[in-house]
Structures are given as structure tokens and as C-alpha cells.
Chains A and B, each alone.
Chain A
Amino acid sequence: MTGQADSSTGTESNDGAGGATPLLQLTGIVKQFPGCLANDHVDLAIQPGEIHALLGENGAGKSTLVKIIYGVLKPDEGEIRWQGQPIAVQSPNHARRLGIGMVFQHFSLFEALTVAENIALGLTDAADRKGLRARIGEIGRAYGLQLDPDKAVHDLSVGERQRIEIVRCLLQKPKLLIMDEPTSVLTPQEVERLFETLRRLAREGCAILYISHKLEEIRALCERATIMRLGKVVAHCDPRQETARRLAELMIGTELKAASHHGRGGRDGAPRLAVRELSLKSEQQFGTDLKGVSFTVKGGEILGIGGIAGNGQSELMAALSGEMLAQSSDAVVIDNVPAGRLGPRARRALGGCFVPEERNGHGAVRDMSLSENAFLSGYVRQALAWRGLIDAGRSARFAEDVIKSFDVRTTGSGAEARSLSGGNLQKFIVGREVKQGPSVLVVSQPTWGVDAGAAAAIHQALIDLADGGAAVVVISQDLDEIFVLCDRIAVIAEGRLSQTIPVAEASVEQIGQWMGGTHLRDVGASHASA
């Protein structure tokens, strides 16, 4: 492929279809999956050098559309024109040869290999590997994507890992770069750096298709937006001219109900969950050990634990849920009962409920029915077993109750978990835990990959639970979520927890610095809690 110069005729973005030939034009794209029309006559035009947002709820058909562009899926109907020529993208390889690059939400990197090795593995043409290190350096300097080619990936932050993926794409000199939810794992500082890189690429003529749920980001970055709902394009707009609220309403098609925050500061009374000097060795090869984590949460209070992925969140979750046992039973105390050496079942009996980060295969079993999935974590508190036998009737009723209360869109409690969209399954899992009336609820990434409507419902459920007197812990990488939802905030970095401060007194800048690990210098002060 030649450089970007030949496609940079339309650096000024055109608002309409007129003007220069679009770089990519999709007309009437239809994609039918069994039982679901994922794309229903979708039209999309991307001009060279523009940053174009693709916006929509989960299940709106964004991923399907992007996979069609990138050659992973074939459309059933419709036409794709690339630089004016009708084409059929045969495969991701073909897409890359055309000049389409994609950075996926979940990276495909080998942790034990170095940066350069990972990039070399991603190149399809062996000849490209010559002088690779020099070119990694060049691209890094040109676009602010500094990387040490000899560092092993497991030593890198998520932001750095994402840079590898971007560099890998840029080595192919793309004319169109697709970014799938790129900021969900980044610190505010890293987001700002990423945006600079993207703006610079756009100025040089590379078009960017930016997929995100984060409306403020889209307003800050993108010139044009295509909004999808239920497989159809519902609006084209200039996001800079719209409010975030308006964009959200276009996306979900109804008026947004903002989460109503309960009385700030929690209630007086004994802590319902107390963690004292919790240290734990990770079981994962490249996991993060927990080091002296301490915090307390009172009834009626929501504590947010922020941090960049891979800083000990999954270990903390496992230590709280009982999937990993602490060294001493005093390390985790639920309602004044030492629970550090108790397994998940006993902790549930004490009143603990848990929502792990991963839905498929951790919080739920994909190939089992919702009724069975309700039994999975509900059998202790809801008494769904009788003399070693499953009470199928009670399990189904419990599942139906969750489905109804949390507006889970499904055919019923007999449906397999895999048949639900991500957001609906998350609503079911959160609902399953909330409906058990826990005294302590620990939730990890409650709205990861969940659309705005479902996220609002989940937030409201957590707030209602806290208002009812439960202690709630939200482990999230989404700072906006913590600020909206929580009374107090702490940050986990490298397995240590910062001090806990009221959200009202926290600034994004300060939290961002803590996420980078700056609080580690004054560890001594980190065990205080409000």
C-alpha cells in the first residue's frame, strides 16, 4: 500500500455525502443471525481523515457492522465501496491489505513475549519484519506512542499494551483505523494521550472509526457520529453540536432516567464489611499480589475502588468472594464475623453476595438455563436445594423474579444464558445477587460493555440496595461510574490500596495520579479510612 498522502484530499470533513468520494461507503448492509437481524439496511459513509463515531447500545449491531468492514463477517445484502470501488472484503487479511486496521477491545498479545516479538507475530508479510525495531521507534516518535521494543508485555500497563496494538496497525499504513472501545481501560491521562495520537493520525489523512459508549469522549474527539439502534441507523449528527444527554437519548430511544443518588455519607453504625491488612499471593502467573489492603464499608454506603486493569482487582474480588482464602480469618470480616478463611458458600450464608467481572464462565454458565444460573449462586440464601436435590420449581421462580424485576429481555427462565446479550446477562447476574438481599455486595465492573439503559438500571439497583442498609463495594475501571455512584473512593495500584476519601472531595486529576501509583510512596497513610 502506498502512504497516506493519496487519500488525504478531504482533510476537511464533509458533513454531507457530497464533496469528495467517501473513503468507505456502506449501502444497505443487511446481516441476519439466527433469531436476530443484526444489521438492517445500514448506511455509513466515512470521509478520509475524519474521526467518525459509531454509537449504539449493546446489541445495536455495531460490532457486527465493524466485523463486516474488517472482513470477519460477510453481509447478506448490501454494497461496500472502498475509495469508490465496489468490493467484497474476504478476510481480515484482505482488509489489512486494503488499508483497514483495527484495534480490538480485548488485546491479543502474548504476555511472555516482548513488544517487538508481539508486533512481528502480527505481521502477515515476513518481509515487513526487516528493520522492525527502527520503525517501531519511528512511529512511536511520530505519534506519541513510545514503546520499549525489548520489554516483555506482562510488565506493561494496559495503556502501553494498547499502544502495541495501535503501532501494529500503523505499521501497515492504514487509511482507516477502527478503534473498538479503546478507552475503557485507560487512565484519564492515558486517554488524553490517545486522543492526541488519534487527532494527529486524522490530520495526516487516516480516517478513524471510533466505537464507544462514552459520550463525553465522543463529543471531545469526533466530528461526525452515526448512531445505531436495534440494527438500524437512527441518526447522523455532529456530536460536538449535541449534548451528551441528547446523544444518549438518540442511542437508547427513550428519555434517560438518571440514577437517583441516596443520602451522601452513609449511615452511622458498625462496618458491615471490614478488610484488615489483607495480603495475598496471586495464583496467576502474571497476576498482582495484594499487599496490606485495608478498608471498611458501613451499611448504606457505596465504596468505589478505582484503578487500571491488572493492578490486583481480580485478586481482591477473589479474596472478598472466598474464591481465594486469606491467611488469617480476621482479614475479611462480614457483619463482625471473621470470614477470611471461609469459602464462598459460607460467606454467602453470612450475607455476602458477589458479581465477578467476567460474565461468561465466571458469573454465569453459558450453556445452562437462567434457572440453573439462578441456582448457581442463589442456592444458599434462597434455599433452592432440598436434601441434596435441586428444587427446580423454586429455582425457576427465583429466576423469573429476577427477570421481571430487572427487565431482563429473554424468553424466560428456561433460556440459556448464552442466548442473552451482554447487557441483559449482566442485568440478570446483578439482579440475581441483589435479589438475595445481601448485607454486603461486592461488584466488579458492574456495567462493563453494558448499554446506557441497562447501566442506569444496574446503578439504580445498587443505590437502592445501599439505601436498604447494605454495604456495597464497586470495583470499577470506569471513573465516571464511581463518581456517579459512590460515596467514597479508593484506588488500587500494584496490589496496594490508597486511602479512602469522600467522592465529593476527590478530583479526577488526583485519582488519575493515584491510579498511576503515586500514593505508593506514602503507604503508611494508606490504611486510614473515613
Chain B
Amino acid sequence: MLRLEPRGAHSRWWTYASPVLAMALTVVTSAIIFSILGKDPLESLYVFLVAPLVSSSGLPELFVKAAPLILIGVGLSLGFRANVWNIGAEGQYTLGAVFAGGLALAYPDAPALLLIPAMIVLGCVGGMVWAAIPAYLRTHWNANEILTSLMLTYVAQLLLIYLVTGPWRDPEGYGFPQTALFSMNATAPILVDGTRVHLGVLVALLAGILGWVVLTRSVIGFQLRVLGQAPRAARFAGFSQNRLIWLSLLTGGGLAGVAGMFEVAGPVGQLTPQISPGYGFTAIIVAFLGRLHPIGVIFGGLILALSYLGGETAQIDLGMPNAVTGIFQGVLLFFLLACDVLILYRLRGPRARAAGGA
């Protein structure tokens, strides 16, 4: 029998090898699922994982899809480091889109040089406002932010539906639940001609780099890490827990709001009830796949962006349901959590004595 033996210390090697192993196992499992579904597993894997990249628009599209995941994932990873479990990024993303979208609809003719920065700021504010509610409830009433932030996600979705079916509905939209398309001035500038790569992609990459500096080099990042690993030590050092909770949630909410702003000002181009294919939740997997490390989050974001693209090509080329994306993401999270055991334990082969250890 194989058995687990405590290492007594974190394995640095496995901290980074675990996601790689998890991805390999996920690919193998996906192949098995494909063959059970009656598809050729190798061809399916090619369609799901490779075809989206080799198509002419592949790589740019990957970055477009990854941008919101990275923006949200960076914010979440900072908070998760401090044991602040913001699960409601989806709602903060929605509010960011609503705030920025409202501005875009109100001042469609404002100069882009003013309008776009103002939309970024307002998107950020929108996400922060939504994240401030769980922060207040946590710091004043000790209400669990996992529950409050998650529940607010549904409130945000209903608010969005109310706006696009009610006051903000496009009068020329044949009654569809959507706003008017944003003006050219309110559209995120394209960075690479002939692609959809917009300003948000650059902002996401910068957020990753900035997040890395904050986490590893700054006093604030240190405070977040200490709070997460040893709350009493944080108090001993004089780091205010409430301040750090506010900071974590506002940062996560703000970045999610910016992600929402760029998504509606970029690929979507208007407000509709379907502005997110679950980016706020997928970003949780991104954060863990990236080891709660902002640079890792960039890679994690690209990998999960591929699962969205692959899901689309699998739908078109293989006639598979869209649920393939969700299954792939779920299996990946499952293996990731399982492989993380190897960070603290090592596998040992058969031995005469039974497993020991406390």
C-alpha cells in the first residue's frame, strides 16, 4: 500500500509541481470522459486544448478571455493570503460593469480620453461598493464574508436584470433585455490591430506584476501574509485585522469591478444579463492554480481561459455540450486540491510497518 508521510516542512518543489501534475491528471481524465461520450479522445483533446490556440485568432482571444480572470484572480489571491474569503467577485464584477456602463450610457459623446479613465475608476468604485458590504458586516458584526459576499452575487445579478429590462433598456432593442451598444468613445481601445486585444489585457498583466510587488515586497503584503498565517502574530506586530479585512475586500472588489468594466466596454459592448460566463467564480480556481501568487495567477488565468475557448470549439466541432468547460474546471480544481497534499506529505511505497505519525 502507498502511504503518506508528513514532510515536516513545506515542499517548495511540490508547491509549483502540484498544479502541473494536476493539469496532467485533468487532461488524462478529460480524455477518459471524452471516450466515454463516444468521441475519439485524442481528437477531442486536440479540439479542446490545441485547436483554440492554433486558429488565426487563437492567442489574442486567449488573452482577451484571460484578462478578467487575471484581474479578479490577482485581487482574490491577495485576500485569500490573509484568510479573507471573498467568494462574491462575480457580484463585484457585475457592479463594476453596471457603474461603468451607466456612465457610458449617460455620456456617450464624452471624449474617450476622459470617458475611458472615468469608466475604469467608476468600475473600480462599483466593485468596491459591493465588497464594502461584506467588509462592514465582517468587521462590525463578525458576519462570515464567505456567505455575505456570495449572497450579494445574486442581488447584483438581479439588479443588473432590473436595469437592462427596466430603466436602461435599449428603446430600439426590440424589447430584448439589453442596453444600447456603447458608443465608440466608451469602447476600450484595441491594442493590437485585427484582434480583440483591448486595454484591459494590458491592465490585467500590470495588475499581476503590481500585485506580485505588493505581496512580496511591501509592508501591506507582509501584513496580509502574517494575518493569514498567524492572526495572533499579526496582532502582536500591531497590524490591524479590521483594516486588512477592508483592504483585502476593497482590493478584490475593485479589481473585479475593473474586470467587469473592461468586459462590457470591450468584448460585450453593452450591458446584458449575460455579461459573465462565471468569471468571478472561475477566478477562484485561477487564484489557487496560481498558488495565490499574482504572477502564477497570470498563468492560471491563461489556462482557464483556454477551457472557455476549448468549450466553444468542442461545442462547434464535436457537438459536445457547453458543460464540458465546467467539467474541465471542476476536475482541475479537484486534482489541484488532491495534489496539494504532496506539499506537506510525501508518498511512500510499501513497507513492513503500518502508517505512523500523529
Contacts and interface: CB of A to CB of B under 8 A. Distances in A.
Interface of A: 33-34, 67, 72-74, 88, 90, 321-323, 343-346, 348, 354, 356, 358, 360-368, 372, 375-377, 379-380, 385, 388-390, 392, 416, 418-419
B238 A88 contact: no
A364 B230 CA distance: 8
Interface in B259-305: none
Contacts of B353: 74, 88
Given A361-B230, A365-B229, A376-B237, 4 more contacts: A67-B358, A322-B238, A344-B235, A419-B9
B10 A90 contact: no
Contacts of A321: 236
A346 B240 CA distance: 13
Contacts of A368: 225-226, 229
Contact of A33 (B8, B218, B232): B8
Interface of B: 7-10, 217-220, 222, 225-226, 229-230, 232-233, 235-238, 240, 353-354, 356-358
Contacts of A365: 226, 229-230, 233
Contacts of B220: 388
20 contacts: A73-B356, A343-B240, A344-B235, A348-B238, A358-B232, A361-B230, A362-B233, A362-B236, A364-B230, A364-B233, A365-B226, A366-B229, A376-B233, A376-B236, A377-B236, A379-B237, A385-B219, A388-B218, A389-B217, A416-B9
Contacts of A358: 232
B78 to A, nearest CB: 15
Contacts of A90: 354
Contacts of A367: 10, 229
B9 A323 contact: no
Contacts of A376: 226, 233, 236-237
A321 B235 CA distance: 10
A220 to B, nearest CB: 32
Nearest to B346: A34
A344 B226 CA distance: 15
A73 B7 CA distance: 14
B343 to A, nearest CB: 11
Contacts of B354: 74, 90
Nearest to A324: B235
5 shortest interchain CB distances as A-B pairs: A345-B238, A344-B238, A74-B356, A361-B230, A362-B232
A160 B218 CA distance: 48
A372 B238 CA distance: 15
Contact of A362 (B8, B230, B240, B357): B230
Given A34-B7, A366-B229, A356 B236 contact: yes
B236 A323 contact: yes
A385 B220 CA distance: 11
